[in-house]
Each structure stands twice: as C-alpha cells, then as structure tokens.
Chains A and B, each alone.
Chain A
Amino acid sequence: DAKTTQPTSMDCAEGRAANLPCNHSTISGNEYVYWYRQIHSQGPQYIIHGLKNNETNEMASLIITEDRKSSTLILPHATLRDTAVYYCIVRAAGGTSYGKLTFGQGTILTVHP
C-alpha cells in the first residue's frame, strides 16, 4: 500500500471549513483513498473514501487531484466535536491484503470556539 504524508496538526475555527491535506505521490491505479478519524479514547471511525472522482457524504467531502497524488478532506462546517485525529490511508480494494489498513500518524485537528 502506498505511503501517505499528512501535517502533524491543524487548527480550525468553529463553523468554518476544515481542509485536511494528504499526499500520496506513489499511489497506484487500483488504490483507494480512505479517511478515518479517531476521537479521544474511541476506535477509529470511517468518514469517506474515493478512487478518482470527488466524493461527498453527510460527514465530509473528498477532493482528489487529477493525477491522484494528493487529496483533501473537507469538513464544511467544523464543530467542536470534530476535534480528532484524522487518518488518510491508501490501499487496494482487492488483492491478498484481506482489507488490512495501515495507519500513519494522522493529523490532529483542533476546532476552536
């Protein structure tokens, strides 16, 4: 699975959009980009994933660049409850990895009042 690079930490004001970047320059054509978040003392929670098209769900939007070497997770109206560690993960959908997720250090997002 391709390696990802994320900033260590970011801050955001409550009510504003939070844009979390992720670099995955070695991504392969069959690898998806997944985003998870982990709120303190809880298990990671799935947010969104995509292959090459932009995706949106009730939690967030995922923007993937045309060359697929980077992506941005957007929380459109951040709240205090969005304070968490956000993980960007790249992995193939199939193959013999049986769905293993390899976590990096993630980005600590702090939403301020």
Chain B
Amino acid sequence: DVKVTQSSRYLVKRTGEKVFLECVQDMDHENMFWYRQDPGLGLRLIYFSYDVKMKEKGDIPEGYSVSREKKERFSLILESASTNQTSMYLCASSGRQGGQSYGYTFGSGTRLTVV
C-alpha cells in the first residue's frame, strides 16, 4: 500500500559531496513537493513541481535544485552538501483536477546527516 516512496531512510554524506534524494509516487499525481523539517522550524517547502520538467521555488530553495523528468519521480539535489543541510527531508505529492488539488500524501522521510 506504499504510495510515496523515498529512496533512503537514513543517509550520511560528507561536506562537499553531491547528494541525490529520490522520491517516487504511484498515484499518477501531478504535483510533487520537497520539504525539510528541523526542530523548532517545522516543515519548510524547498521546491515543488506541478508537471513533468516544471519546477517552482518554495520558501528555502538556496543550496538545492530539483529534477522531474518523469511524472512519478521527483529528485532533490544538493550540489555541494553542507552541514547546515543536515535535516529530515520529506517528499509529498497531490493530484489536480478541475483546478483543485486533492489527495496529499507524504513519504516516510529521509534523515540526512552531512559530516
């Protein structure tokens, strides 16, 4: 019954490494989102995509990029990981019909530690 799958549950990377976080959904949803969650700051939107090859910046896009080559897959890329990007990363998706969004579903999260 898994609907939004994030490739890794835990990840440890070194400063300066290029990091890919993958997210796949099987609900044929148009919209996909990447959030990060930090203690005291809550969930903050990094990037989102409303269609294949389309992307929009969220509230905190600096230091990140995204890729959406297929409808079901949305990748978050850290070009050069830094310790302040240590966080829990959450992927989500939602459908869109008649101008309305529905069916928001989150993945289980990837806890990334940059050392």
Q: Chain A interface (Cβ within 8 Å of chain B)?
A: 34, 36, 41-46, 93-95, 98-106
Chain B positions within 8 Å of A99 at CB level: 31, 33, 94, 96, 101, 104
Q: How many angstroms between the C-alpha atoms of A36 and B4 in the bound complex?
A: 16
Are B92 and A43 touching (Cβ within 8 A)? Answer: yes
Measured CB to CB, the nearest residue on chain A to B41 is A105
B36 to chain A, nearest CB (A): 11
Chain B positions within 8 Å of A43 at CB level: 4, 90, 92, 106-109
Measured CB to CB, the nearest residue on chain B to A85 is B42
Q: Does B84 contact A (CB under 8 A)?
A: no
Contact (A101, B109) CB under 8 Å given A44-B90, A94-B99: no
Q: How many angstroms between the C-alpha atoms of A105 and B56 in the bound complex?
A: 24
Q: Chain B interface (Cβ within 8 Å of chain A)?
A: 4, 31, 33, 35, 42-45, 48, 50, 56, 58, 90, 92, 94, 96, 98-101, 104-109, 111
Q: Supply 12 further A-B pairs (C-beta < 8 A) apart from A34-B104, A43-B107, A103-B42.
A: A42-B108, A43-B4, A43-B109, A44-B106, A46-B104, A94-B98, A98-B56, A99-B94, A100-B45, A100-B48, A103-B44, A104-B42
A12 to chain B, nearest CB (A): 22
- The answer, among B42, B58, B100, B109, for a CB contact under 8 Å with A94, is B100
Are A94 and B106 touching (Cβ within 8 A)? Answer: no
Are B50 and A98 touching (Cβ within 8 A)? Answer: yes
Are A93 and B31 touching (Cβ within 8 A)? Answer: no
Contact (A41, B33) CB under 8 Å given A99-B101, A102-B45, A105-B42: no
Measured CB to CB, the nearest residue on chain A to B107 is A43
Are A98 and B100 touching (Cβ within 8 A)? Answer: no
Chain A positions within 8 Å of B50 at CB level: 98
The contact sample of 5 A-B pairs, CB cut-off 8 A, is A36-B104, A41-B109, A46-B105, A100-B33, A101-B92
Are B42 and A98 touching (Cβ within 8 A)? Answer: no
Contact (A98, B43) CB under 8 Å given A42-B108, A42-B109, A45-B106: no
